């Protein structure tokens, strides 16, 4: 029987994949993809908690996460295009222009 723990384990796995991507990646577009993975993992956990505790609040939080993800992509892609126009590349290391 599939319980809450199964869903939470899958959600934790997906979140770890996203986190590994965020830590490992150096390309800004790939970093954005990894962020989306992490947001989706959180959504699964919320929906599972909502189902197994018989509470709609979890689904509400998932809706707001979807809204936040949509606006994050809109603003983030705008910034990415600006960075690409300025530098001609999307590499994170090229953004480190301040030598301390």
Partner 1 sequence: MFEQIAFYFFSAATVVLFLITAFSKNVLYAMSALAAGMVMISGFFFLLDADFLGAVQLIVYVGAVMALYAFGMMFFDATKDVKEKNAPSYLVVLLGGLSALLLVVMFAAPILGSNIEASYPPIEGISNPKSVGLVLFTKYLIPFEVAALMLLVAMIAGIILAGKKMDISLTDIEEDIAISEEEEMSLDEKDGEK
Considering only residues 13-72, where is the footprint of partner 1 by CB under 8 A?
13-21, 23-27, 29-30, 32-34, 36-37, 40, 43-45, 47-51, 53-57, 59-60, 62-64, 66-72
Q: Which of 20, 69, 60, 1 is nearest to 40 (CA)?
A: 69
Give 27's strand partners. Answer: 91
Least distance (Å) between residue 39 CB and partner 1: 9
Indicate the residue among 93 and 98 with the shorter CB distance to partner 1: 93
Indicate the residue among 1 and 98 with the shorter CB distance to partner 1: 1
Please tell me the distance from the alpha carbon of residue 96 to that of residue 24, in angstroms, as a whole number.
17
Please tell me the distance from the alpha carbon of residue 27 to that of residue 81, in angstroms, as a whole number.
13
């Amino acid at each position: 029987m599939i319980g809450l723990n199964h869903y939470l384990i899958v959600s934790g796995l997906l979140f770890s994949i996203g986190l590994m991507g965020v830590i490992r990646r150096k390309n800004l577009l790939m970093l954005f993809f990894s962020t989306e993975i992490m947001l989706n993992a959180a959504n699964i956990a919320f929906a599972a908690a909502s189902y197994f505790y018989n509470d709609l609040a979890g689904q509400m939080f998932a809706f707001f996460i979807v809204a936040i993800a949509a606006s994050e992509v809109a603003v983030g892609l705008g910034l990415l295009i600006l960075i690409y126009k300025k530098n001609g590349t999307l590499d994170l290391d090229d953004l480190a222009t301040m030598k301390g």
